[in-house]
Structure formats: C-alpha cells, structure tokens
Amino acid sequence: MTNSDPIAPDGSAYFLYHSIGMYPGKAQAMAQAFTDFSESWGALDDGQWMRALSARQEFIDLWSRLIGAPKGTLTSAENVTTALYSLVGALPSEHLQGRKILVAGDCFPSLHFLLAGLAPRLGFTLETVPLRRGENWVRDEDMIAHWDESVGVALLTFVTSTASHRCDLAALADHGRRMGSLVGVDITQGVGLLPYGVDAPAVDFTVSTTLKWLCGTPGAGILHVAEPLLKNCRPELRGWFSQENIFSWDLDAFAYASDARRFDHGTPSVLACAGSVPALKWHAAQDQAAMLAHNRKLGGMIIEEAGRLGLTLASPPEEERRGGSIMLRLPEHAEPTAVVNGLREKGVFTDCRGRILRLSPGIITTEEGVAHLFETLHGLLGTRS
C-alpha cells in the first residue's frame, strides 16, 4: 500500500454523528428490518397494512418514550420541514395574523426557507435574530432582546448544526411564557445524546428526525404537539389518515382525529419508520450517561489537540453550552474540500460547512481515531514538524 492509497475504515475515526450516526451492527439490523418488511409486504395474504402500521406505531411509541411525550401527542413525519409545515399550517390565526414568528439566524436553513415562504400567505412576519459580527452562534440574550409580546411563535434550536451551540432552553421557554408566545423546539442535533423531555421545560411543540445521534434512516421525522394546543389545531395539510376513522369515505363528513393523528395526511412513510426501529431500540438499551461521557471525553481531546494545532474553536468551550459536536475553523490557506477528501483517504470521516470543519465523535469513535484525525490534519495543513 502506498501513502496515497485509501485506508479501509474501521469506524474509529468516524466523526459524522451530526449527519448520519452509526452503531455496532447497524447495517445488519437495518437489513433485517427491511427484509422483514419486504417479506411482509410481499406476502400473499391480507395482513400487509396491519403489520406495516404496527411497525410505524412501534416507531411512534419508541419516540414517545424517548422524549416523554404523552400518548397521542406525537406522530411521524417525512422530515423536520414537513413536520413544521404541518404545525404552522394548523395553528389558530391568533398566533399568526399580525404577529411574528421568531427564529435565530443559525437555525436549520430549511426551516427558514419554509417560514419565509409561508409568511405572506399566513399573515405573520418572520423575525430572524442575527449573529453578532464575527461570532459563530446567536446568543440567548439576543433572542430574548428580540422577543416581546408581538411574537406569536418562537422556534428554538436545541443545538445548532454550524457551531454546536446549546441554547438555555429553560430560560428561553420561561421568557416565552411571559410573552404569551407558543414555544417550539427543533431538537434534531441534540436528541439521542443530550437529555430532552417535552415537559422539562414544557414546550408547545417539538420537531426532529431520527438521523444524527439516533442513528436512524432518512424520512423518519417526528412532530410532537402538546395539549391544549393540539386540540385547537386544524392542519391544512390533511388527508385520509388525518381522520379518527381512516376508512371514512363520506366526502362531506371529514373530521380530524382527536389526537396527533390529525397531523397525518396521506399514506404515511412506513418504510422509513420500520427502518429506524432497530436504531431506536438499540439506543433505548444503552447507558445514556456513558454515551454522553464518551462523547465529552473525545470532545475534550479534540479541543486540546486543536489548540496545539492552532485551529480556532467555533463552538462554545464550555460543555454545558455545547452539543456533541466540535466545530473548528480551518486556516485561510487550507481548501476545505481538499481537507475533507484528504481525511477520507486516510479513513477519517467528517465534513465542512464553508471553512468550518465539523467533528462529532460518537459511540464507535475512539481515542485512537482522534489521534489519527490530528496526525492526518498535521500533514494536510502543512504543520508536521
């Protein structure tokens, strides 16, 4: 093997938990789940729908236990964007008409794209709290400074995807209650690693996906809506699965289901849910404190080695203000694509957003993998002694 030959990866230097999480035996567990679904769906009997919808319900039940969602307050969605659309399109007009939806400038861009498009039709103003010049995340105090009684809905980002900044959810939710706002949270980049419960603090809605730290499949998002808001929602995105009895065909007698099923619409994406059940089961069986401690240990090593290498930290240095990722700013002479490609050739997997190198160590990442990461970075950045 020459120095330019790719190295067969063993997972020890896998740093992509901000994108696609991995766990031991994932490929085999997913393959079995998809095989089981295929055999069921292709069986020459009449039980396909019952089995498929049972698999989806197992997905919903696992998610409900994960975030403490009461029965009937959580349903599946194709992704976080469709989940948010279902929620916003269902809200009573007093939360939107002539009011503001507040978001941070470092929210997930897809959600901003959605809200910006909905604002003219639904009659709200989208207020985006900007990052301060030269900073990497929106400060909580800046969110609060922009958050007055004119805000009908605030969408908070639990952990940001570009800086791994963890907001002070309790303080922000408390402020939102005093302002009379609905409070929702996108937990995508934190759930599965950091503790989260829909009642701690109490929020009005939660959106997420089963990717990232939960190690699931694409297409397996969720929407949780708390009471009493849920009962007051009338989703405009609706269909036969939005009804109490999905087999009611009376065109003049549509009635929303009494629970979170009212946020369903057409035939649900069952396959993505079934494919994510093994990951959710695996996650539920783990020692959650140990998983976080492992992440924190490797994160500390990354920060220490980055300092030695002269790389600028683009994430909060304090653990309590940070998610599971460590973001580093590459020096001006380094070309981000070349760095990512060079790391990949050596069996190190990460990515960049602009000049920000994103490093997210998870359960299969090891201390040896961190050492290999920085040994390779030394060579790629021309700092080897």
- DSSP result, 357-378: EEEB--TT--HHHHHHHHHHHH
Query: Tell me, what's the pLDDT at 377?
Result: 96
Query: Tell me, what's the pLDDT at 385?
Result: 39
Query: Tell me, what's the pLDDT at 9?
Result: 76
Residue 317 above 80 pLDDT? yes
Query: Tell me, what's the pLDDT at 8?
Result: 55
Taking residues 67-71, report their average pLDDT.
Answer: 98
Residue type at 1 in one-letter notation: M
Cα(155)–Cα(148) distance, integer angstroms: 14
Q: Where are the domains of the chain?
A: 46-284, 288-381
Cα(227)–Cα(262) distance, integer angstroms: 13
Residues 6+ apart with CB under 8 A from 121: none
CB 67 within 8 A of CB 224: yes
Q: Can 46-284 and 288-381 be said to share one CATH topology? A: no
Residues 6+ apart with CB under 8 A from 308: none
Q: What CA–CA distances, in Å, run from 68 to 200, 250, 305, 320, 328?
A: 9, 36, 38, 22, 34
Taking residues 41-55, report their average pLDDT.
Answer: 97
Query: Tell me, what's the pLDDT at 383?
Result: 66
Taking residues 230-237, report their average pLDDT.
Answer: 97
Structure tokens at 203: 């929020």
DSSP 3-state of 356:
strand
Which CATH number is 46-284 given?
3.40.640.10
Query: Tell me, what's the pLDDT at 7?
Result: 64
DSSP 3-state of 283:
helix
Tens digit of each residue's pLDDT (9 = 90 or more) over 328-367: 999 999 999 999 999 999 999 999 999 999 999 999 999 9
Tens digit of each residue's pLDDT (9 = 90 or more) over 105-159: 999 999 999 999 999 999 999 999 999 999 999 999 999 999 999 999 999 999 9
Residues facing residue 256 across a β-bridge: 243
Residue 382 above 90 pLDDT? no
Cα(222)–Cα(206) distance, integer angstroms: 8
Residue with tokens 């059940």: 277
Which CATH number is 288-381 given?
3.90.1150.10
Taking residues 317-325, report their average pLDDT.
Answer: 97
